[in-house]
Chains A and B, each alone.
Chain A
């Protein structure tokens, strides 16, 4: 990987292994790199332990989304979903278990897959992509069982509301749609850009980040990032963050958000921005918290750089992993 390629690299997705000791990161060249957290976090770590233990080309196009289940790593790139076994990857065996493609209507253009999320209730994978639809894949039987149609432009992000068995999807058309996961009907459609408090017409109406906490939902993108109460479908707080947010997460009593701008924002639920922690990449695309392991509880953030910042304490950047 020459220096020019490293300069132009963007990290689009990350996922922690089920044991919590490894981090998989996907970049815009279609590669997935595996980093060993136990080596990088150990007291005698060297510069070599911040390099990947394994790098392989997974797809022809950029890997926009990575997801870990109990024993598999699912990666989405170039319109297809591949599954890899974590145990095999740790042993450096890079053969995918299976590769599937949702039923796209047009066969000329292959739409990209932007986001995947697991629905643990019925063991299904929810996939949102460039063909304006949300596909639901049943992981037990391996067939696509539902197609949720309703968006008029491509789907950026999907999320699952576990308690009510609903799927949320946000897209380029500025609408956040709530679907019932059993029937596949659209239950609600929230057009965020129509609400004056959130709308930012100078950025557009697209929704690029969506996350939910069963009662509350965070969505942002073109409009300012806002916290919504789902039962009443009303925006409760709007966060005054400049730039468009690309990923957000609920963490204990705070909200962590990354997007345009070289920092990770900590916000309170009331709408104030508590802190903005500087990071290496100029703009961040992905944020992951390692909840699978108690010893390696880190937060990692990656973006338009070949560095992935690792935070052991949420207040400052500890070190960076490099591709």
Chain B
């Protein structure tokens, strides 16, 4: 790449001042006037003026060179600046990418949370329709007590019924026995009477 840019530079310079217009020409003119001044047989004043003129041209050349050097420095510093900005922007881009990825993950999480919350709400709606557990428990307790009381009463009544049944049974069986005994007595009396009369008739 160095060779290419050199070629480019040479081509550009030849195009711009191939015949020596500008700085190159000034340097050539200076050299020519210097050699002429060294070899000139003229008067010291002429020589002095020529010398002044040459110093002037030299100063011009130095000035132009100084300018170019400064421009070159400036370009280098601009390049550095741009490099810095470039790397800065690259870093920003990568950090923005990372932030985007983070945000995407966040949004996924938030969506999951929202879904869970909605499911919870839906279930809660259904659960609210059912009666409160404490109330139902209290009702159950009250019913239990009532049930116990009623079964108590039932037991008592049953016991009374049993007792009455037994007493009646005893009464009835005694009556029957008495009846039997009375019948038996009557029968045996009749038999006795019948036995006596045939015996009387037989005689």
- A236 and B122 contacting across the interface, CB-CB below 8 Å: yes
Tally of contact residues, B, Cβ under 8 A: 12
Nearest-Cβ distance from residue A76 to partner chain B, whole angstroms: 32
CA distance A229 to B108 in the complex (A): 23
A232 at interface (Cβ–Cβ under 8 A)?
yes
- B118 and A253 contacting across the interface, CB-CB below 8 Å: yes
CA distance A270 to B115 in the complex (A): 9
Residues in B neighbouring A229, C-beta threshold 8 A: 122-123, 126
Contact of B126 among A215, A232, A252, A270 (CB under 8 A): A232
A69 at interface (Cβ–Cβ under 8 A)?
no
- A253 and B115 contacting across the interface, CB-CB below 8 Å: yes
- B126 and A227 contacting across the interface, CB-CB below 8 Å: no
Residues in A neighbouring B122, C-beta threshold 8 A: 227, 229, 236-237, 269-271
CA distance A317 to B152 in the complex (A): 76
Residues in B neighbouring A90, C-beta threshold 8 A: none
Residues in B neighbouring A271, C-beta threshold 8 A: 122
Nearest-Cβ distance from residue B100 to partner chain A, whole angstroms: 15
Interface string of A227-249 (1 = CB under 8 A from B): 10100101111000000000000
- B119 and A216 contacting across the interface, CB-CB below 8 Å: yes
B125 at interface (Cβ–Cβ under 8 A)?
yes
Contact of A269 among B108, B112, B115, B126 (CB under 8 A): B115
- A253 and B111 contacting across the interface, CB-CB below 8 Å: yes
Residues in A neighbouring B118, C-beta threshold 8 A: 253, 268-270
Nearest-Cβ distance from residue B111 to partner chain A, whole angstroms: 4
How many residue-residue contacts, CB under 8 A, span A and B?
35
CA distance A237 to B119 in the complex (A): 10
CB-CB nearest in chain B for A237 = B122
CA distance A39 to B119 in the complex (A): 39
CA distance A270 to B121 in the complex (A): 7
CB-CB nearest in chain A for B110 = A253
CA distance A271 to B114 in the complex (A): 14
Residue picked from B111, B115, B122, most chain A C-beta under 10 Å: B122
CB-CB nearest in chain B for A269 = B118
- A252 and B111 contacting across the interface, CB-CB below 8 Å: yes
Residues in A neighbouring B123, C-beta threshold 8 A: 229, 232, 236
Nearest-Cβ distance from residue B109 to partner chain A, whole angstroms: 11
Residues in B neighbouring A235, C-beta threshold 8 A: 126
CA distance A271 to B118 in the complex (A): 9
CB-CB nearest in chain A for B114 = A253
CA distance A269 to B111 in the complex (A): 12
Please report which residues of chain B, range 80-97, place their CB below 8 angstroms from some CB of chain A when the two chains form the complex.
none
Residues in A neighbouring B119, C-beta threshold 8 A: 215-216, 269
Please report which residues of chain B, range 171-200, place their CB below 8 angstroms from some CB of chain A when the two chains form the complex.
none
- B115 and A236 contacting across the interface, CB-CB below 8 Å: no
Interface string of B135-161 (1 = CB under 8 A from A): 000000000000000000000000000
Given A268-B118, A269-B119, A270-B121: A253 touches B126 (CB 8 Å cut-off): no
Interface string of B2-42 (1 = CB under 8 A from A): 00000000000000000000000000000000000000000
Nearest-Cβ distance from residue B123 to partner chain A, whole angstroms: 6
Nearest-Cβ distance from residue B120 to partner chain A, whole angstroms: 10
Contact of A236 among B111, B112, B114, B125 (CB under 8 A): B125
Given A229-B126, A236-B126: A252 touches B115 (CB 8 Å cut-off): yes
Residues in B neighbouring A234, C-beta threshold 8 A: 126
Could you list some 8 contacts between A and B, CB below 8 A?
A229-B123, A229-B126, A232-B126, A234-B126, A252-B111, A252-B115, A268-B118, A269-B119
Besides the known contacts A236-B123, A253-B112, 14 further A-B residue pairs in the complex with CB atoms under 8 A apart = A216-B119, A227-B122, A229-B123, A229-B126, A235-B126, A236-B122, A236-B125, A252-B108, A252-B111, A253-B111, A253-B115, A269-B118, A270-B118, A271-B122
